[in-house]
Amino acid sequence: MEEHKLHTFGVAGSSPVPPTRIRGHLLVSAFLYQGTDGSSMEEFIARLLDLQDLDRRIDRLKADGESIPGEIAIHRRDIEGHRSRFRASEEQLISLKEEQKKLAADRAETLAKISDYKSRLLTLKSNEEYSAMLKQISHGEKLVDQIDDRILEAMYKEDEIRGELERAEKEKDRAINRSEAREQLLKKKLEEIESQLEQLQIERAQAAERVDPKHLKRYEITRESRHREVVTGIRNGACGSCLTKIPAQAAGEIKGGSTFSCPICGSFVVWTPDSSL
């Protein structure tokens, strides 16, 4: 029988065992591993896989949960953007109404001056004074015409702004309804994630209790070092966790079913369906 080995940081032992499949991983203990609780290598790796699967699910849920506040903030910014555009249209309309009031006041004032000028025409004694007054009256009438044009432009502008204000209000209301509904769904999703995380943490604690304390510590240290896959496959002849190149002989033995302990990240490297040399 071909000899199999747990390379590098493996444990001493004897009695080679035949290849074993654990959750799709072809895995061979080079020596008949015995944990402090009497577990074999296959049981040891299976327990680590259970723990690793739980940690992956926990990591995914945490990532999903951590993304939710940011998504809620995006929706709230969207609402605020629509409110800002609505307020801007409101302020534009208010400003235009103030301008219209001023134009109306200027028109009334100019008309009053023209009327005064006309009433004074009869009191003027010289042709020069009379001619000068007529010029004042003509200037005032031109000014009134200019004011009337501006008033008409302001009226058209008011209709335009009121249309924009109406559209902005509808868009704002739609955005608020849409975003508030989405926020409620996200909050509900977050509650579900927190509930699932609570249950998974219980399952993880139970799974961790089934792992030899010495190897559990190593598992935790490996995960904390950001090499999340403590049990991993071989990728293009390298450790699937840290991508450290594995010696050709060891890589071949992994393909044959041995378990390799990476000297860099500490992960257990086994042959998986997607492994490659």
Q: Tell me the per-residue pLDDT of 167-200, one tens digit each, with 9 for 90 and over.
A: 999 999 999 999 999 999 999 999 999 999 999 9
Q: Which residue has the higher pLDDT, 14 or 39?
A: 39
Q: Which residue has the higher pLDDT, 5 or 144?
A: 144
Contact of 104 with 233, CB cutoff 8 Å: no
Q: Return the number of other C-beta atoms located less than 10 Å from residue 217's C-beta.
A: 11
Tokens of 30: 């080079």
**Locus of tokens 């080079």:** 30
Q: Name which of 238, 247, 260 is nearest 41 in CA terms.
A: 260
Give pTM, 2 decimals.
Answer: 0.62
What amino acid occupies position 94?
A: I
Tokens of 242: 């840290």
What residue segments make up the domains of the chain, in order of their start?
1-39+212-277
Q: Name which of 221, 36, 24, 33 is nearest 230 in CA terms.
A: 221
Q: Which residue has the higher pLDDT, 129 or 45?
A: 129
